[in-house]
Structure 1
Amino acid sequence: MTDNQLLIIGEALIDVVHRLDGTVDRVPGGSPANVAITLGRLGNEPELLTWIGTDEAGQRIVEWLRASGVKVVPQSQGADHTSSATAVLGADGGAKYIFDIEWNFPADYSPQGVGHVHLGSIGAVLEPAADAIYEFLLKARAAGATISYDPNARPAIMEVPEVTAAKFERLVAISDVVKVSDEDLEWSSPGEDYLSVAKRWAASGPSLVVVTRGGSGALAVHGQNIHEIDGVKVEVVDTVGAGDTFMGALIDGLLGAGALGAGKHGELVNLDRDALEAVLSRCAKAAAVTVSRPGADPPTKAELDGK
């Protein structure tokens, strides 16, 4: 790995999607995997550390990731079987999930020179791997890497909100960038308004905290500044992968602005207001592309930027 290596940690699995018309799709997915796919399609070369089997489903995931420029870390294929998530789509395009998850963190994984690490969702808080991942992140940060985190709550498989919220906040405190949805905050921080949570989280460590609000856009806390970004109006097909697309585009945009990567903590703190708002607006545009078509299908760089 080089000092600019992008490492994504978290689950990759098979999404079993039950659509309103009665059809059932079985496609590769998983929040961190979708973030990696987004980064690959936007021209990066991310590596994904996950936990899948060598079964047909696991091989399908590897091929799916490879097609978008994502490399699976070899130690990732130690699971007895590849995990799955069943998503039932509602009339509003939203999804409810049922999980069959096997998750671990390979003890023999010790990369060198990682520039940025992204962690997200189930893989961040599910035992027995959560503590090992936390220790890994501490070491990566001490070595100069920047860290991003997306809680991406999954109540069906996570512990009760009070317990899980404490795990979220432990990871928030060691991250440089945090992206969280309004729905996640409604579950993990009930009764607390989004801006208050974002400010509280920002005060605990991150230089940037972004709260996404679906079609209503996003708000961000960056130091003493508060940014509000409008959503992009589009006909919604479904919302699967929208938040992951936003997260991937956020990492990509901040990398392009020179604000993430080995030793870039200060650059993120000092990022110009206009530059940050341009990054956030591009994230909203990327998410709008994903919700306009079925499944987690993030845009390519050409689709997003026209070049």
Structure 2
Amino acid sequence: MAKTHDILCIGSVLWDVIGRSPNHMWLGVDVPGRIERLPGGVAMNIAMTLARFGMRPALLSAVGRDAEGEDLVRACEAFGLETAYLYRSDDFPTDRYVAVEGANGLIAAIADAHSLEQAGAKILSPLEDGRLGSAQTPYRGLVALDGNLTLEILEEIAVSPLLSKADLRVAPASPGKAERLRPFLTHSRAVLYVNREEAGLLCQKDFATACAAAEGLLARGAARTLVTDGANPVAEGHNGGIIELPPPQVTVTRLTGAGDTFMAAHIAEEARGERGLVALEAALKAAADYVSRETAR
């Protein structure tokens, strides 16, 4: 059977509902702006960016059989994503994420990933029933994994034979879920993509720069990590040392999905054989292009 994908994206696939205003905002303010509903979730954002870079992502996630779920699956397929391995259930509604952004940044966000969390290990079934692999023939290849899964499932994945041969690229869903990635902090096959705040939560220490955060993660046992810090220099660390690079200076019009875009672009560059500063520069440019666009896609 012909292979339908070249990377697995495991985690949240949901609808983003994002309200954006060009004005500064504070508690209780009522301002004009725009509201969009678009496909989102960390795994979905990564997959869409990978597809734009010419890769063929397959999704492992939970999507309801409700009207929103049917719309979402059609949207995934329109982006060229493989949806055959999604866990579909009548028991769970399709997950959603709601955020409000102003000129002064992200004001507030709520991630409703309860269906993904309740589905749990069921989303991994294709990795053990022969469709994508089994315990005896583990999946080999690139995997992008996000922290919207429960800590229990992430702990299971970290030691499971199902992904013991995979090239794992791991990211938290948000700073609030960063500590769920602890099982991968000393994982020999995991690359951690985090921001400076998330690195601090993983190390239980405040870092002044992305470089310091990368050093802290390596000291705690990380095999390799990439740490972003907004408009400040990004750092990539591994046992060969640390490299830094400043991002392009752009006018920021959107924030949600920027980290996912950076991660996906970096993975795509490395899949093409690029490494080091070349891959890092391409990923930063992709993220800068994303945050400076007026429209989402």
Residue among 69, 85, 93 paired with 1:74: 85
Range that drifts further, 110-119 or 185-194: 185-194
Q: Is the 8 A contact 1:14 1:29 kept in 2?
A: yes
Greater Cα shift, 180-189 or 85-94: 180-189
The match for 1:208 is: 224
Aligned to 1:64: 75
- Relative to structure 1, the CA distance from residue 2 to residue 97 in structure 2 (aligned partners, 3 Å threshold; closer, same or farther) is same
Count how many residue pairs are aligned between Structure 1 and Structure 2: 268
Q: What is residue 257 of structure 2 aligned with on the other side?
A: 241
Percent identity between the two aligned chains: 27
Give, as a single letter, the amino acid of the residue that structure 1 aligns with 2:170. Y
SS in 2 for 1:232: coil
**1:190 offset after TM fit, Å?**
4.1
Q: Give runs of aligned pairs for residues 108-147 of structure 1, distance below 5 A.
A: 108-109=125-126, 110=128, 111-112=132-133, 113-123=139-149, 126=150, 129-136=153-160, 138-141=161-164, 144-147=165-168
Q: How does 1:14-93 map to 2 (within 5 A)?
A: 14-20=15-21, 21-78=32-89, 80-93=92-105
Three-state SS of the structure 1 residue aligned to 2:65 is: coil
The TM-score with structure 1 as length reference comes to 0.78
Q: 166, 175, 191: which is aligned to 1:177?
A: 191
CA 149–67 in structure 1, closer or farther in 2 if over 3 Å, else same: same
Flag structure 1 segments of 5+ consecutive residues without an equivalent: 159-163, 259-274, 298-307
Give the residue type in structure 2 aligned to 1:145.
Answer: A
Q: Which amino acid in structure 2 is aligned with residue 276 of structure 1?
A: G
Q: Distance in 1 between matches of 2:93 and 2:48?
A: 22
Aligned partners of 2:11 and 2:43 also within 8 Å: yes
Match in the other structure for 1:191: 206
- 1:287 Cα deviation from its structure 2 partner: 0.1
Q: TM-score under structure 2 normalisation?
A: 0.80
Match of 1:153 among 148, 155, 174: 174
- Amino acid of the residue matched to residue 118 of structure 1? A
Take 1:150 and 1:140, find their aligned partners in 2: how far apart are those partners? 16
Alpha-carbon distance, 1:139 to partner: 3.0
The answer to whether the Cα contact below 8 Å between 2:175 and 2:197 also exists between their aligned partners in 1 is no
Are the equivalent residues in 1 in contact too, given 2:226–2:237 (CA < 8 A)?
A: yes
Q: Which has the higher strand share?
A: 2
Distance of aligned partners of 1:2 and 1:95 in 2 relative to their CA distance in 1, 3 Å threshold: farther
- 1:293 maps to amino acid: R
Counterpart among 246, 249, 254 of residue 230 in structure 1:
246
Amino acid at match of 1:139: L
1:263 equivalent in structure 2: none
| TM superposition shift of 1:197 | 3.8
**Contact 2:184 2:190 (C-alpha < 8 Å) held by counterparts:** no
Kindly provide the amino acid, as one letter, of the partner of residue 287 in structure 1: A
Indicate the SS of the match to 1:191: coil
Return the offset for 1:72: 1.8
Letter matched to residue 260 of structure 2: D
Please, what is the CA RMSD of the aligned residues? 2.5
Q: Which runs of 5+ in 2 are unaligned?
A: 22-31, 134-138
User: 1:83/1:284 Cα in 2 relative to 1: closer, same or farther (>3 Å)?
Assistant: same
Structure 2: which amino acid aligns with 1:181? N
Correspondence for 1:254 among 261, 270, 295? 270
* CA distances 1:173-227 after superposition (whole Å, capped 9, x unpaired): 2243211112323555342454344234335555431111122231111323211
Q: Distance in 2 between the 1:9 and 1:293 partners? A: 27
Q: How far off is 1:296 after superposition?
A: 4.7
Structure 1 residue 82 displacement after superposition = 0.3
